[in-house]
Structure formats: structure tokens, C-alpha cells
Amino acid sequence: MKKKIAHFKAQINYKTAEKGGLISPISSGFRSEIKFPFELKTYIAAQTFSETELIFPGDSASIDVTLNGADSFLDQLYEGMDFELSDNSGVIGEGIITELYFNS
């Protein structure tokens, strides 16, 4: 299987369980929904951790993100753009794009 290349690096703040966020630690490869402020559609965001093996509830980290099924949307991304990460329980974190890895 061909490995997908990350679309951007982001600084993400994961919420604690008390704030409706993560209940347990997550590892590299974790997937969640990602929602951008002006986009009606949500995408699946695969997150790759290069600085640590696990992210714990309440942690902040710089993470590589690959969007699945977002090819037509990639040209609208920009550095400084914010977003929300969610799962079935609600919003689990917020982030901001710090670096784009592709030429739009």
C-alpha cells in the first residue's frame, strides 16, 4: 500500500476529557474529522506524530496532517488557518496550520 504524503503541519491543542476532549492517549496514525471555518464539508484527518509516540488529553503538539478526499479543497488551505478536530463525542481539539507541504 502506498503511503500518503502529509498535506500540512499544524499546532494542535487536544482537549481534556473534562472539557469534552480525549479520554485516553492517541498514537501516530490517529484519524479524526476535521472542520475548517468556511467549509461545510468535514474531512478525515490522519495525524502523524514525529516528536512523540503518544499524545495525552490536554497536550499540545506539532503534527503532520493528511486529509483524505480533500483534493479539490487543498488550494484553499493557507498558513494560519484554524480548524477543529472532532470524533463521535464532539470537538476533541483545535489547531492552526503552521506549514503547507504542497504547492497550490
**Model pLDDT for residues 77-100, shown as the tens digit of each residue:** 999 999 999 998 899 999 999 999
CATH of the domain at 47: 2.40.30.10
Task: Examine residue 1 and state whether it is found in any structural domain, yes or no.
Answer: no
Residue 55 predicted with pLDDT over 80? yes
- Cα(7)–Cα(9) distance, rounded to whole angstroms? 7
**Set of cell numbers at residue 14:** 487536544
Beta bridge partners of 97: 10
Task: Examine residue 75 and state whether it is found in any structural domain, yes or no.
Answer: yes
pLDDT of res. 3: 57
- Number of domains forming the structure of the chain: 1
Model pTM score: 0.90
* Residue 104 confidence class, pLDDT cut points 50, 70, 90: very low
Task: Examine residue 51 and state whether it is found in any structural domain, yes or no.
Answer: yes
